[in-house]
Homo-oligomer: A and B are copies of this chain.
């Protein structure tokens, strides 16, 4: 094994430096992991509050076994018939509203979002896309175009891309004191649609994470998506729900975060990714018969070399099994609620805590230097991350001002873990407030 310093030196030489490290001034070298715990090269154990990809826990034996068994048998492409992809599509179908019944398997959330764009273009024959402010939908050229979080620093905003305000009821245009923020924010999308039409352009899709994460662990006000879908549909566009970060039961009460909006809401396209294969590159697009038919009608094959292969699907099936068998949705509900409760208690004590929000094991702790102005406490948030690392706990920040400490741990996160992290945060905030 390379010494840590040598690893850093070799990495600086061999790997593109745009690929960043956590804790860049003193990165962690992780050699082993299990459940919600990471172990460094000295055997030190870290509590992992951020690996949402390792959804059912790092190195879950059921997942490894499923992969091994299928790798020994077959890993051909989907131009041959195979049962795994059918079983898997069936199982996913059961988690979704009935009309989302056609599946395309791909290798990453980015590939899924790119395909969603292609499907929407082909179905609507329109070009323009509306996205939420600060959104991030992936690293591909087409997705940087629809990610304000990226295009503002890179290529700029294309004429076919339109940005609607982030429906953030803590820091946004309409806040918790507004009588109907869902309607008010949905109306901002309507205004964007009107502007698109005034320019003589047409709406292809409204694209949004069901819980905007890079935007700062935001919960869309209930009713927002239903209303937006109504406006977007009237304009001839589609509603794409990006569930890459939020799907597979993370929110506890539901399998998909968009289901928090209620039964009267159904997206036209759902994209999924990160937690789907517990670390294995696996992602998917679900859509309707009509949209899939429009994509087929152009007569052009869509072939994804690795997408939906028997090993990926075996792993995907195993992840679904573990979520059910270990009641990880129940755990996410219970532990997530307890974590929020603990953090809300801290809020009464620490004025630096502006907001505690979330659902299931998707939780944000927003720090502010001033409760009235809600001035982002960016430095304090960075300090919390750094200090928690010294306590062997990994968290990170999000939001436009990087002042939201986020929690999106493996779904086996326990009550004790939640207690530990909130206790440590309590101490750290006390220190910060006293100037230490």
Contact = CB atoms under 8 A, between A and B. Distances in A.
A101 B17 CA distance: 12
Contacts of A226: none
Interface in A117-169: 117-118, 139-142, 144, 150, 153-154
The copy count of this chain in the complex is 2
Interface stretch (A3-11, A251-259, A320-328, A422-430): A3-11
Contact of A64 (B27, B68, B101): B68
Contacts of A27: 79-81
Given A21-B80, A86-B14, A153-B298, A281 B312 contact: yes
A339 B101 CA distance: 46
Contacts of A301: 18-20
B303 A102 contact: no
A416 B22 CA distance: 53
Contacts of A68: 64, 67-68, 71
A406 interface: no
Contacts of A103: 14-16
A389 to B, nearest CB: 12
B53 A64 contact: no
A93 B150 CA distance: 30
A14 B114 contact: no
Interface stretch (A30-38, A234-242, A365-373, A380-388): A30-38
A184 interface: no
Contacts of A72: 59, 61, 64
B108 A107 contact: yes
A213 to B, nearest CB: 13
Interface string A401-430: 000000000000000000000000000000
B114 A141 contact: yes
Contact of A14 (B89, B144, B278, B304): B89
Contact of A305 (B2, B4, B53): B53
Interface string A258-302: 000000000000000110001111100001000011011011111
Interface string A155-190: 000000000000000000000000000000000000
29 contacts: A1-B83, A11-B81, A11-B86, A14-B86, A14-B90, A14-B93, A15-B85, A15-B102, A15-B105, A16-B296, A18-B300, A27-B80, A28-B81, A31-B74, A31-B82, A32-B73, A53-B77, A59-B73, A59-B74, A64-B68, A67-B67, A67-B68, A67-B71, A68-B68, A108-B108, A110-B304, A118-B141, A153-B298, A153-B300
Given A15-B78, A67-B68, 13 more contacts: A10-B86, A15-B105, A19-B308, A33-B74, A53-B305, A61-B72, A64-B72, A75-B278, A108-B111, A114-B140, A150-B300, A153-B300, A281-B282
